[in-house]
Amino acid sequence: MTNPTVDLTGRTALITGASRGIGHAVAAELLARGAAVTITARKPDELAAAADELAATADDGAERLLALPGNAGDEDARADAVERTVERFGSLDILVNNAGINPVYGPLVEADLGAVRKIFDVNVVAALGFVQQAHKACGEHGGTVVNVASVGGLRSTGVIGAYGASKAAVIRLTEELAWQLGPSIRVNAVAPSIVKTRFATALYAHGEEEVAAAFPMRRLGEPADVGRLVGFLVSDAASWITGETVRVDGGILATGTRG
């Protein structure tokens, strides 16, 4: 390939947890690059509002966008999302597993095991479930997968241990799938640090400037920072990259401190 492109015209993406935050930014990035995009999320009202906002970003945005309410942890919802995406756009070329939860804070020895099971079910098992469904839909033409992990999966935090353990599992899952699904399907992960989303508010609400001061870049991440990285990883410009977990952390792990 002598002239790899980051243009995604003619390709179809399915993005989970896309009503806000990182998922929403990824959807905006892929739409801007010309892809047709399906977004999913649990709450229909929030998803509809996100769809309206995204559709307005391009002249043909509404034609290239499909919003499907559904819980990523529900097997039937996963199958329906993939089936309806292919039915609407004719293919599925890109899967971005962004949906995730984190209801548990504090020491793991005190964690509610039911909540821990739920974290792994949504963050890990559902991601694999979507890959299984997408693999069936991709057929021989292949495609790309990006799993949204976390720096918490690369280094202990002491605060969000169950979430971090689930993201460590996502990173290993990414490596295994890259090996098993190559060469037709590339599988990578991104590992953000603190990104300014509603999901991460508890990690910086007590003092954003103080938290940001620990980062070499002296700021927290924005959803678009992750969206641009995902846009690159699913493009032809990244055609020899698979099995990788790419940190997008403002340099925090380079300092040796917790991310």
Q: Please, how many CA atoms are within 13 Å of residue 223, restricted to the half-sphere of its CB?
A: 19
**pLDDT, position 4:** 67
Q: pLDDT, tens digit, for every residue of 54-76?
A: 999 888 989 999 999 999 999 99
Q: Judge whether residue 96 has pLDDT over 80.
A: yes
110 pLDDT higher than 80: yes
163 is catalytic: yes
**Buried-exposed string 201-230: b where 16+ CB fall within 10 A, e elsewhere:** eebbeeeeeebbebbeeeebbebbbbbbbb
Q: CA torsion sign, 258 to 254 to 15 to 144?
A: negative
DSSP string over 61-72: TTTTEEEEE--T
CB 106: neighbour CB atoms within 10 A?
Answer: 12
Q: Please identify, in words, the CATH class of the domain defined by 12-245.
A: alpha beta
Return the half-sphere exposure (C-beta side, CA atoms, 13 A cut-off) of residue 31. Answer: 27
**Stated pTM of the model:** 0.95
Query: How much of the chain exceeds pLDDT 90, in percent?
Result: 81
pLDDT at 204: 73
Catalytic pick from 12, 81, 160, 163? 163
d(CA 118, CA 121) in angstroms, rounded, equals 5
| Residue range 210-235, pLDDT digits in tens | 888 888 999 998 999 999 999 999 99
Q: Are 87 and 58 in contact (CB under 8 A)?
A: no
Give the tens place of pLDDT for each residue, 145-196.
999 999 999 999 888 999 999 999 999 999 999 999 999 999 999 999 989 8
Mean of the per-residue pLDDT values for the chain? 93
Q: How far is CA 64 from CA 28, 233, 235, in A?
A: 11, 20, 18
Residue whose entry in the numeric block shows the structure tokens 């720096």: 151
Percent of the chain at pLDDT > 70 equals 97
